[in-house]
Structure 1
Amino acid sequence: MDVRSDAEAVVRVAVGTLWETPEAVRPDDAPALGALADVGAWVAGLDADRQGGDCVLSQLLLGERVLVTAIRSDGWAHVVAVEQPSERLDPRGYPGWLPAVHLAPVEPGVDGAAQVVVDAMVTALRATPDGPVVLPGVVLGTRLAPAGPPVDGWRPVHTPGRSEPLWLPAAHLAPAPTRPPTAAEVLAVASRLIGVGYLWGGLSAYGIDCSGLVHLTWRRLGVPLPRDASDQAAASQPVELGAERPGDLYAFARPGQRVHHIGIVTADVRPGDERRMLHACYQHQRVLEERLPADRTATLVGAHRI
């Protein structure tokens, strides 16, 4: 059954990329557009300028639900990513374009029934336990529906668009969280992403941006957050500066403009007003934990608590 317009669908590739328009795609974006969407190869082939280009809006993980709003004759689908809230752009979710081949129809009773989450930075789904790889590049935070109990250290899972279960190491999975995370859990997940390269619109261990880091951290811990920094600040509870604590968020904006950068507080404020955060930094082209430099402090507009 094909994906239809005005219907829900699910992502069938490990990491799908959401584009501003199909016409914004560049020749060296081809690896991200294929049937398997090789995001690792795509990011590796981008220079720093293209990693920071704004033609990419966000990314979608395997099994993520979308609402298909249009399908073009050239194979592109316009979707709303309903699991990535974006009140500013569309109250239904985050809108954008991706190849229709990256989507599969919703299967009643399977999709939406995720009970486990990928806890490895990157893993692969195989045809059989320790068998040939069918779907490489599955990343941290991907939610999956089990297809049975573990067998010799391997776990079968349902995957969109495939009739037979695929397998991955049981150690690469964790139970889907059922309670709000602690600050220590938030920082533990975010810290694992230190060193990941910066990618505008990125939402995976292959590349990530500032709001993607916040969204993915809480997604791994079972908490849905908006996709963009300004929406994340608006959806969280303001905290008076000086009262922030580890696990809160720092928001940054220029005078008269909306929040453009966000990071995770990693330490209590120290004497001399020293502040520290973990964030995906465009200037350093990677995720890092650091003391707020002067240029960041100059645009710090608030702290927020999830």
Structure 2
Amino acid sequence: MELQPGREAVVRVAVATLWTSPEAVRPIDCPALTAGVDIPTWVSGMDTEQQVGDCVLSQLLLGERVLVSELRADGWARVVAVEQPAAKLDPLGYPGWLPAGQLAVPDPAHTSTDHPLVVDATVTGLHATPNGPVVLPGVVVGTRLIPAGPPRGDWRPVHVPGRATPLWLPDAHLVPAPATSPTAEQALAVAQRLLDVVYIWGGLSAHGIDCSGLVHLAWRRFGVLLPRDADDQAVATTPLPLGAERPGDLYFFARPGRKIHHIGIVTATPGDGGQRRMLHACYRRRRVIEEPLPADRTATLVGAHRV
């Protein structure tokens, strides 16, 4: 079967990048555009200004569902990422463009209801056989996979979109998809594993990430689909009185009269002097860092929320 407008498709690469338009891509973006996508090479090839180019909207993980709305003759597909809520843009999810070669038609025999597994390793690779060559590198934490049978020794076979035969990864890199919501501390622990990951505008993976992507991915690991953007995340979470926040809650930041532009994850209960700490993907430092709130962040802090 082929991709068709009006029907769902699934991501067949480890990490697919969602673009504002096909015309917005730059020469530096080539490693992110092929069917053999290489996100680490793409990230490492960018300078600090290219890391924050606004041509990138978001990223999608292996197996993530999209609704195809348009297919172009030059190989691009306009899609809606239905697992990334973005109510102000589209009630169905986050809209944007992907290379059609990074998508596959879903196999109805391999659905997400088949006791899915979740990648818990920060980054792993899928192998052709147990202990065999890696054929799909760069798979990241939070990726959901459908088991293709019981483990064989320390290895587990999984179904992969667009592939006729299962691939394998270490069974220790997988956990069952959670049946209950995580504690705030559990989500924080996932985010802490991404400390020092490069800041990429629109990034949503352990190869490169932005502030709202860090929050989305940490909760997504546990099956909680928060909106993709920080201002939408504020709407979807519960406000707290400042001072009542605890590790794993969220800080939101906005300039006077402007919408929320930044988000961080609380890492410490505020001290007697009101000192606050957070983990966040920092635009200025171009890294995921954990730090006390500097004065300029404190000046734009507009609230604490709980998921």
Say whether the fold is shared (TM-score over 0.5): yes
Counterpart amino acid of residue 15 in structure 1: V
1:14 touches 1:36 (CA, 8 Å); kept in 2? no
Gaps of 5+ in 1: none
Matched position secondary structure for 1:51: helix
TM-score, with length taken from structure 2: 0.98
Given that residues 63 and 111 in structure 1 are in contact (C-alpha distance below 8 angstroms), is that contact kept between their aligned partners in structure 2?
no
Which structure 1 residue ranges, 4+ long, deviate > 2 Å from structure 2?
A: 111-114
Measure the CA separation in 1 of the matches of 2:212 and 2:73.
33
How far apart, in 1, do the equivalents of 2:266 and 2:124 lie?
A: 29
Q: How far 1:36 moved relative to its partner? A: 1.4
Shift of 1:273: 1.1
User: Which segments of 5 or more consecutive residues in structure 2 lack a partner in the other structure?
Assistant: none
Q: Which residue of 2 aligns with 1:56?
A: 56
Counterpart of 2:35 in structure 1 is 35
- Which range is displaced more, 171-180 or 104-113? 104-113
The code of the aligned residue for 1:278 comes to: L
1:263 aligned partner, one-letter code: G
Give, in angstroms, the shift of residue 258 of structure 1. Answer: 1.1
- Note the C-alpha offset of 1:271: 1.3
Which residue identity lines up with residue 212 of structure 2 in the other structure? S
Question: What SS does the corresponding residue of 1:187 show, helix, strand or coil?
Answer: helix
Which residue of 2 is the match for residue 126 of structure 1?
A: 127
How far apart are residue 186 of structure 1 and its match?
1.5
CA-atom RMSD in angstroms: 0.9
Letter in 1 for 2:66: V
Give the AA of the match of 1:38.
D
**Aligned residue number for residue 289 of structure 1:** 290
Deviation, structure 1 residue 182: 1.3
Alpha-carbon distance between aligned partners in 2 of 1:227 and 1:145, rounded to the nearest angstrom: 24
| CA drift at 1:116 | 0.7
**1:88 maps to what in 2?**
88
Distance 2:134 2:193 in 1: 25
Q: Deviations over 1:12-71 (max 9, x none)?
A: 000000000110100010000011111111101001100011110000000000000001
Taking every aligned residue pair, what percent have the same amino acid on both sides? Answer: 69
1:10 matches 2:10 = yes
Q: Structure 1: which amino acid aligns with 2:44?
A: A
Matched, 1:244 2:230: no
- Alpha-carbon shift at residue 109 of structure 1 (Å): 3.1
Q: How far 1:263 sits from its partner (Å)?
A: 0.6
* 1:114-193 matched pairs, under 5 angstroms: 115-193=116-194
Secondary structure at the residue paired with 2:95?
A: strand
Offset of residue 125 of structure 1:
0.7
Which structure 2 residues correspond to residues 88-107 of structure 1 after superposition, within 5 A? 88-107=88-107
The alignment status of 1:304 with 2:305, answered yes or no, reads yes
Q: Secondary structure at the match of 2:228?
A: coil
How far off its partner does 1:246 sit? Answer: 1.2
TM-score (norm 1): 0.98
